[in-house]
Structure 1
Amino acid sequence: MTQQQQPKEYAMQEYVDGFVLPVPRANVQAYQKMAESAKAVWLEHGALDYRECVADDLGTETFRSFSEAAGAKDDETVVFAWIVYANKAERDRINALVMADPRLANVSCENVFDFKRMSWGGFSTLVAK
């Protein structure tokens, strides 16, 4: 089993795409506007939940901070985001629709944040409410 694979016995039904990315503080409003547009598209195509959160408490002496993990520079903050789907097959179906949706075709992130520095991964739910 590779590091990216999760044993099937741990997988609950819901599936989550998670994101962590540094965003220049000066661009947080522009990022929020972009995220609002994306949220509408993902939810319309069937995502169960869509959250984009901006950091406001990253100081820690005990653990590695999100700022460090995201490689945030002094003028950047961190966005932690996730999208919830019914299952992985639904995630794949919904993401295909989202990527083909013309409303996002003109959305450019290059002036808002550095897409290459974003961390992303798909996660099987281990514990839920």
Structure 2
Amino acid sequence: MTYVTGFLSPVPEGNKQAYIDSAEFAWALFAEYGATAHWECWEEDVPDGEVTSFPMAVKREAGEKVVLSWLIWPDKAAADACFASMETDERWRDMDMPFDGKRMMWGGFDPVFVKTA
């Protein structure tokens, strides 16, 4: 069954192109390991919250944008194999991360409702 890995990251506005370049580099590896889709979404309308919000979740600082990303996998096993490869496949070490990875969050999700037009 399809599996989704989601990410939320704070990225300095000035690093937008570097971030896109990094995502393009990563996509080649994700696809090789079985990912079927990769979305990177740059903050457009992301309000601050009073109790919780995307900016609060990543501790967004002045001059940063929130990026919402996800990968689609054929199944959890493919995702797990890909992420395990980050310890052994040296190509991952060549990937630039133009943001504070300590404030990035991620997780795996089992889709329960999917519709497309």
Q: Percent identity?
A: 38
Give distance in 2, aligned partners of 1:39 and 1:92. 16
Give distance in 2, aligned partners of 1:66 and 1:102. 32
Shift of 1:106: 1.8
Q: Which residue of 2 aligns with 1:34?
A: 22
Give distance in 1, aligned partners of 2:93 and 2:49. 42
Does the C-alpha gap of structure 1 residues 60 and 71 become closer, same or farther in structure 2, counting only changes over 3 Å?
closer
1:128 has 2:102 as partner: no
| More deviation, 37-46/76-85 | 37-46
1:118 has 2:96 as partner: no
1:84 paired residue among 59, 72, 78: 72
Which of the pair has more CA radius of gyration? 1
Q: CA offsets per residue over residues 15-63 of structure 1, 9 Å max, x none? A: 1110001001011111111111001110122111111111111136798
Aligned-partner SS, 1:26? helix
Q: Structure 1: which 5+ runs fail to align?
A: 1-12
Q: Which residue of 1 aligns with 2:45?
A: 57
Does the C-alpha gap of structure 1 residues 61 and 116 become closer, same or farther in structure 2, counting only changes over 3 Å?
closer
Q: Structure 2: which 5+ runs fail to align?
A: none
Q: Which residue of 2 aligns with 1:45?
A: 33
How many residue pairs are counted as aligned between the two chains? 115
> Is residue 48–residue 56 contact of structure 2 (8 Å, CA) maintained in 1?
no
- Name the Cα RMSD after superposition: 2.1
Give distance in 1, aligned partners of 2:104 and 2:11. 9
Shift of 1:105: 1.8
TM-score calculated relative to the size of structure 1: 0.78
